[in-house]
Amino acid sequence: MATVIEVDCSTGIVTERDETPDEMAVSQKMADEIATKQATEEQTQATQAASLASAQAKLTALGLTAEEVAAITGLPTPTV
Amino acid sequence: MSVFLQPIFTQTASGSANSITFNNIPQTYTDLQIVISARSTYSSWIDYCTAWYNGDRSSIYTDTYIYALSSGTGGSGDSATTAVNIGSYPAATSGTGVFGSINYYMPNYRSSNYKSAMSDFVLDMASTSTYNLGLWATLYSSSNAITSVTFYAGNGNFASGSTFSLYGILRQGV
């Protein structure tokens, strides 16, 4: 079970206590939402990276030099 | 322009807490700043720190961000949410002992208008080739003054040694 830390800035008193059942339910809902969002973002990033690598490979296959590919994409010279 | 930066409180996480709340924030400053150094216990390389104000979990928050990863750049946002994202930070499978930095600035936190804030974050990737950094802008669509702020760890807990430092700022001429 996770705890929550509460700081009372007016007194300096710090309380660390177990989550209440309601807080646990909210935490689980938030964690699920964040995990879903994270998975979506990671998939998007992976797709972008794969698309970039594919585009770089195709440009190289067309006869562009590594420096020309880098100039077009604005990214480091590919190693393909 | 700020002419005065007053430390209010610094709290270090124990490793078992998934949220840290600053309550009864003094209403004597113009702006607030929170400097976070954090790592998550989540079994991934990254976790997402969120925040909400005054214990208010109604759907009146908005956020938007841009990021730069070593694999590319991007951005997105959300509206009508119950909390705002303020930054990504390293988790359990990141390099041993590395922490991320989140700098969160909240101007006019006592205002009766909607409150905007912004953060920048940098993950320490313990690397010379990979990186992850970005900027978040957030909005709290409430006319209530901010008297408390809660930071939520995301999928895991805040790892032991994570620190949250709250500062009050007085603007010039105040």
B132-150 pLDDT, tens digit per residue, is 889 999 999 999 999 999 9
The ipTM estimated for the assembled molecules is 0.91
The B-side interface with A (CB below 8 A) comprises 8-9, 11, 13-14, 16-26, 44, 46-48, 50, 57, 69, 71-72, 74, 76, 83, 152, 154-155, 157, 166
Residue B114 has pLDDT above 60, yes or no: yes
Mean pLDDT of A52-79: 80
**Residue-level pLDDT at A74:** 67
B86-107 pLDDT, tens digit per residue, is 999 999 998 888 999 999 999 9
Residue A71 has pLDDT above 50, yes or no: yes
Rounded Cα gap, residues A4 and A16, in angstroms: 6
Q: Does A57 touch chain B (CB under 8 A)?
A: no
Locate tokens 């991320």: which residue?
B100
Contact by Cβ (8 Å): B29, B147: no
Rounded Cα gap, residues A9 and B130, in angstroms: 38
Residue B80 has pLDDT above 90, yes or no: yes
**Residue-level pLDDT at B1:** 54
Which candidate from B17, B23, B69 shows the least CB-CB separation from A2?
B17
**Residue-level pLDDT at A22:** 87
Whether the CA torsion A39, A41, A43, A46 is positive or negative: it is negative
Question: pLDDT averaged over chain B?
Answer: 92
Chain A residues whose beta carbon lies within 8 Å of the beta carbon of residue B76: 41
**Residue-level pLDDT at B138:** 96
Written as one string, the DSSP assignment of chain A is --EEEEEETTTTEEEEEEPPHHHHHHHHHHHHHHHHHHHHHHHHHHHHHHHHHHHHHHHHHTT--HHHHHHHH-SPPP--
A4-13 pLDDT, tens digit per residue, is 999 999 999 9
Residue B19 has pLDDT above 90, yes or no: yes
Question: Percent of chain A beyond pLDDT 70?
Answer: 91
Closest approach of B11 to chain A, Cα-based (Å): 8
Q: What is the pTM of this model?
A: 0.84
Chain A residues whose beta carbon lies within 8 Å of the beta carbon of residue B21: 4-7
A10-50 pLDDT, tens digit per residue, is 999 999 999 998 888 888 887 887 778 777 777 877 787 78
**Residue-level pLDDT at B169:** 94
Mean pLDDT of B105-110: 96
| Contact (CB<8Å) B18/A8 | no
| Contact (CB<8Å) B26/A10 | yes
